[in-house]
Amino acid sequence: MVLAVAAAMGSAAAVQQALTVRDRGRYPAPGVLVQVDGHQMHLQVRGAHTGGPTVVLEAGMGSFSPNWYWVQQELAPTVRSVAYDRAGLGWSRRSRRPRDAQTIAVELRDALREAGIEPPYVLAGHSFGGLPVRAFADLYPELTAGLVLVDASHPDQWVRWPMRHAAKILEVSQWVFGGLGWFGLLRALNLTRHTGGGLPARQAAELRAGAAMPGYAVTEARQTRLWSVSRDQLNAAAPLGDLPVAVLAVSEQPIGGELLTALQHELAELTEMLASRSCKAPAMSP
């Protein structure tokens, strides 16, 4: 029985690997690939550079560059924008470095530099992506022209969440999904079928293919594991001063709405120059 189970797992892993190779052939990187600290990173650049700041788009947890398709489509006529994939997600290969907010921000700076995309930047971070863009602004204030926090995660949200050990539960679930991915069970159980809803067919398929690849959820688990490190980094960050910040937050949350709304208001108090807007829209991913 043990040999049979081992053989079945080996076969499943081999099939998953073959399908991963197939998907990489079906969905080649649509943007540019650069080398950062020994690993490949992917950036999707759209719109002509007109002399103003470039908008840099940081996706939320469980997502990568195609999720910004509609935003880049709207910006393209007037603004140059860059949607990129954090290391280990999408077309960016896994990094050996830790997945805390500051390390992610350093890798982003290096990727932009390698791609020849000069500052200044307006950085927009959705959900978890709000942590590294805030770290970027703290590490590189001279490169940062503004921040847009799109339903962004608050560094303190898990220590203030009413359910105990919520961050650990999230991390464990991501490790479990990572294990399922290695053996092709995410594909077999069709667990990525809702990924990319509302996007064009091509971009939705790219997101689903990326979510089914081995290591995808493992990268997210590594980010969650170091959330407390990211929290300490951001809570020790220098004040933003008069840096322009726009905070966009959904007005209806299915879980923890009162706390999440309060946390968004706290993000709105980070700067002396604020454009705050409440968007009545469904909640998005962490």
User: Is residue 91 very low, low, confident or very high in pLDDT (cuts 50, 70, 90)?
Assistant: very high
- Cβ 100 vs Cβ 229: under 8 Å: yes
Q: Which residue has the higher pLDDT, 190 or 275?
A: 190
- Give the HSE-up count for residue 95: Cα atoms under 13 Å, Cβ half-sphere: 24
Spatial distance between the Cα atoms of 248 and 236, rounded to a whole number of angstroms: 24
Are the C-beta atoms of 87 and 111 separated by less than 8 Å? no
Residue in 180, 228, 212, 154 with CA at minimum distance from that of residue 24: 212
Domain residue ranges of the chain, discontinuous segments joined by +: 2-279
pLDDT at 12: 52
Distance, in Å, from the CA atom of 18 to the CA atom of 131, rounded to the nearest integer, reads 35
pLDDT tens, 227-263? 999 999 999 999 998 899 999 988 777 677 788 888 9
Q: Are 84 and 65 in contact (CB under 8 A)?
A: yes
- For residues 130 and 5, the model is more confident at 130
Q: What is the DSSP string of 105-140?
A: HHHHHHHHHHTT-PSPEEEEEEGGGHHHHHHHHHH-
Instruction: Check residues 20 and 82 and name the one with the higher pLDDT.
Output: 82
Could you tell me which of 116, 89, 119, 101 has the C-alpha nearest to residue 225? 101
pLDDT in tens, 147-192: 999 999 999 999 999 888 888 999 998 888 777 776 666 666 566 7
Q: Tell me phi and psi for residue 284, to 5 degrees.
A: -110, 180
The beta strands (E) that lie in the chain are given as 32-36, 39-46, 54-58, 81-84, 121-126, 144-150, 245-250, 274-279
Q: Are 138 and 236 in contact, with CB atoms under 8 Å apart?
A: no
- Output the pTM of the full model: 0.86
- The pLDDT, as a whole number, for residue 4 is 63
CB 85 within 8 Å of CB 42: yes
CA–CA separation, 67 vs 252, rounded Å?
Answer: 21
CA 136/CA 33 separation, integer angstroms: 21
What's the CATH superfamily of 2-279?
Alpha/Beta hydrolase fold, catalytic domain (3.40.50.1820)
Rg of the chain taking only CA atoms, in angstroms = 19
